[in-house]
Structure 1
């Protein structure tokens, strides 16, 4: 497979992800111009995402090739002078042109969608000034027969150790997504699986941005902070305070704030993306322990988002529907389908197989680890 064909094939695999990114980027630019708002790097305070994400990918690449290089050097009893040829050999086998284009297309399409999503999310309160928190709270009361979901969870789990546990779950999710993207693009040699996963996450971001524009909310922790006053201080408490300070600064002076506001509750993308991950783990046929761990983490995520006040219960339902739809539509778009039913389809030729004589390298992606 020559370089041009490899590029075209990988671009087609991520066509929907690129489409989500480009449409959101266009919406972002139009909103920035019409509302007189800045476009900012979404993670420019500590380390910009355009630096952090490539570093994560490079770290995953190192984990992919370094153990193979070391193992091969030990088997051949090669000295330091033999590491160069072995490294080139492993790189040719594991990283032919097709695999490079697959990873590059995937990470760029995903990051474009993510960066545009973050900016559109920040601009949403300026585009639609109505807040739907009171209406969603009413729906929650109806669903729970007059009881408040967060208050019910506080009564069930208490307001001590559980708060720290749920805080840890919430933060772990933040780490999970970029790492799983790197795994899907670097470690898997089943490109249909990797493309399906990355595209599903991009669709999640896209749909989330649309819903934030249509139904702007701030969530229970901000619309009714009193019901969370008994919770102990955790890392999430600091995060919630910082996010509210950013929102106030952005709403007062979007150009002078130098940051984005990141508050929007409906629908819950924490839940939506975890639903996408759990469904894809099942559809991709990953090991049973991964499947069980995913569903357990989803359940903990649902509890954490409501318990800590990030979301209403109805946000969870909306997020679950969003995540399930993202898996279905991205399966259709990446060719993982039989008619209108999505299932994993193995490509006739994987990037690793195109440039590798190592059977393990060509077939090691049967159980692709996208998340």
Structure 2
């Protein structure tokens, strides 16, 4: 094995992702030292360093098990021989190294991001909610975007639908990371996407500190009091309880607060996903699904009161910038224009279904 070549390739694919992680860790440590706020595991139920590898393993099983079954039948192999054949074909050492770099760099970035987000209102206690609400009103000719959506969509079925969209987004992000690391056989595409999400985390954390806000659902609660009770209602109440406890005893409370509105990373990461599937020429169904989820996410964040209209614009700008910056950082560009590298060729596929996942329509 040529160690120099491996390290050079790793730096090309993952250098920017690791740089984002190290930068966020440095910011986290500085903020912790200056505010005397201790660091916390961002996941209380199941730690992320366990949860994210489990997601990758689950997706790996989805990738491998059907192929083992097909190889057993087609090649008349014993199951264990079929497993060896599939793993050798689909998971050489280079792909294990690729996936490990992606999972670890992204999780370090995520854990640091959650801690920085929690400390942001302690380090900068100002709140810009009134200014952003005024900006929304100015742009919309005196109207509030959430009230407009409530009048257009009503305050019944739309609340339940958009609440479901919000929770779907929460599950979609770690799963999309796992798929980018497991399913892709064009390493440059997977590294591009995972790195772009890391840039989103870094940019979001910095802006949370510079423009601290809580969002309309907290700063203008009466506007959303007429919405029916949904899972989002429970989540919003729990998040506010955590924030109150953190702000009351930041140096002793064993937990994180997760409220910060500008920019909307829900929108930002959906823009990152949508632009990525377009630029790598993913199957048409993936592009349609991404566009649909992006529109529904924008509606959900404003309708439910998580974000101001200005947060949506800021998130979209950050998401687009993250795709461009990650393209520059991973070598997926021609000049200043993002273009997927084609030197990482897909490995042979065993079946028609697998080919359909990677062939543009």
Which residue in 1 is equivalent to 2:73? 74
* Whole-angstrom distance in 2 between the partners of 1:242 and 1:83: 48
Q: Does 1:268 align with 2:264?
A: yes
- Do the aligned partners of residues 359 and 222 (structure 1) sit closer, same or farther apart at CA in structure 2, a change above 3 Å counting? closer
Q: Does 1:235 align with 2:258?
A: no
- Whether the 8 Å contact between 1:6 and 1:97 is mirrored in structure 2 is no
Q: Does 1:25 align with 2:25?
A: yes
* Whole-angstrom distance in 2 between the partners of 1:365 and 1:329: 29
Equivalent residue runs for 1:1-371 within 5 Å: 2=2, 5-6=5-6, 8-43=8-43, 45-78=44-77, 82-347=78-343, 349-350=344-345, 353=347, 358=348, 368=358
- Do the aligned partners of residues 189 and 90 (structure 1) sit closer, same or farther apart at CA in structure 2, a change above 3 Å counting? same
Structure 1 segments, 4+ long, off by >4 Å, are 1-4, 358-361, 364-369
Per-residue deviation, 1:308: 0.4
- Whether the 8 Å contact between 2:200 and 2:265 is mirrored in structure 1 is yes
- Do the aligned partners of residues 302 and 129 (structure 1) sit closer, same or farther apart at CA in structure 2, a change above 3 Å counting? same
* Whole-angstrom distance in 1 between the partners of 2:223 and 2:9: 53
Q: How many correspondences in the alignment?
A: 357
* Whole-angstrom distance in 1 between the partners of 2:269 and 2:83: 37
Alpha-carbon deviations, 1:120-170, whole Å to 9, x = none?
000001111110000000001001100111111111111111100010001
* Whole-angstrom distance in 2 between the partners of 1:68 and 1:290: 22
Larger CA deviation: 276-285 vs 249-258: 249-258
Per-residue deviation, 1:365: 7.6
User: Equivalent residue of 1:231, what SS?
Assistant: coil
- Do the aligned partners of residues 305 and 262 (structure 1) sit closer, same or farther apart at CA in structure 2, a change above 3 Å counting? same
TM norm structure 2: 0.95
Per-residue deviation, 1:7: 5.0
* Whole-angstrom distance in 2 between the partners of 1:333 and 1:164: 40
Larger CA deviation: 287-296 vs 92-101: 287-296
Question: What's the Cα RMSD here?
Answer: 1.8
* Whole-angstrom distance in 2 between the partners of 1:77 and 1:179: 33
Per-residue deviation, 1:5: 3.7
Per-residue deviation, 1:359: 6.2
Give unpaired runs (5+ residues) of structure 1.
none
* Whole-angstrom distance in 2 between the partners of 1:279 and 1:368: 17
Per-residue deviation, 1:297: 1.1
- Whether the 8 Å contact between 2:197 and 2:322 is mirrored in structure 1 is yes
